[in-house]
Amino acid sequence: MASNRSKIPPQALVRVVEFVRNSMAGLHRRLVPGHIALLEMVVAGFLTQAIHAAAALGVADALADGPRSGAELARATGANEDALHRLLRLLISHGIFARRSDGKYTLTPMARVLRRDAEVSLRDAVLFFGSPVHRNHWTHLVDAVRTGETVGTDLDGMSFFDYVQKDRELGELFDRAMTSISTLSIEPLFAAYDFAQFGTIVDVGGGHGTLLTEILSRTKTPRGILFDLPEVVASAPARIAELGLTDRCTVEGGSFFETVPEGCDAYILKHIIHDWSDDKAEQILRTLRARMPEGATLILIELVLPEDNQPHPGKYIDLEMLVNAGGRERTEAQYRDLLADSGFTLLRRIPTAAPDNILEARPTRGS
């Protein structure tokens, strides 16, 4: 369960830091020759694969009990000592791992999140984004841009979500990766929004229940329903019981294209709508609209693209949606229109200290 609840910086401070960082990056790009600046961006892909290699070898786990020499670390990870040194030399230059004056390697704050047992671990996310299937899809970005269609169906013979259900090893890695990324926004969400105001909350497409169990653990009165595909929520009851929430949380299996639990106070969709095209997203939202009471609240938790040209995480994820899932990231205006077309009225957008925004909507009367 997420902790460090007091460590969320004020949103104003986060925005200032983002501004300064973007300004410094922009200054760097203007000061160096264009070919140098572009080349730096191109070889950044090498760094991504180097991080993936360290995660796959378990380097961070091997350093969990303390610093090790190169020979000790090579034996522990099953790696060639010289090649491992060359890998770590690059990562160390970016603050991922460190080497002491005695030659022993040790963890840094960034390296710690590559551990399996880290409080907030990105190991599975690194392994997924560096996996052969994911890399192969991205090599076909040019095809996706030419056609406007996701490449997975042509490469794998089926949609991405069908593929990860068929290849359960990759599917389980994907589920763990998305859960680990989801934990990064937990604290900012609770700092920005009061979930205790609702009686019964449905987490639609809630995966393993990370967000819903956090809501119930931090509040006294709401009850929860975790809703996702049967195979996804199969292990959820055991975790809910372990957290002592069985009397307040139930689990239902099903497809949000067909149905969702009826008559609840709040329906949360966290990082769901961005996975789908406008037509599919509208189908999901209309399914909810048909089952929601008039006064119920719809809560979409999504990256919301800015209208300006500043760097934003959503601009990366938008291409990920194009390549793999067939969805898209959207601006506030695009979400407003999508919700209106689906029978909802957008009430407000609530920014958080993370890139995520909370879009609060209600069923439009008479729709």
Active-site positions read 274
Q: How far apart are the C-alpha atoms of 276 and 239, rounded to whole Å?
A: 29
Is residue 250 within 8 A of residue 225, CB to CB? The reply is yes
Kind of pairing between the strands at 200-204 and 266-270: parallel
């407000």: which residue's tokens? 348
Distant-in-sequence, close-in-space partners of 41: CB < 8 Å, separation ≥ 6: none
**Start-to-end Cα distance in the chain:** 39
Query: Tokens standing for 195?
Result: 């979930």
Cα-based distances in Å from 213 to 96, 111, 120, 221, 242 = 32, 28, 16, 13, 11
253 DSSP β-pair partners:
228
Cα-based distances in Å from 33 to 24, 26, 42, 311 = 16, 13, 15, 20
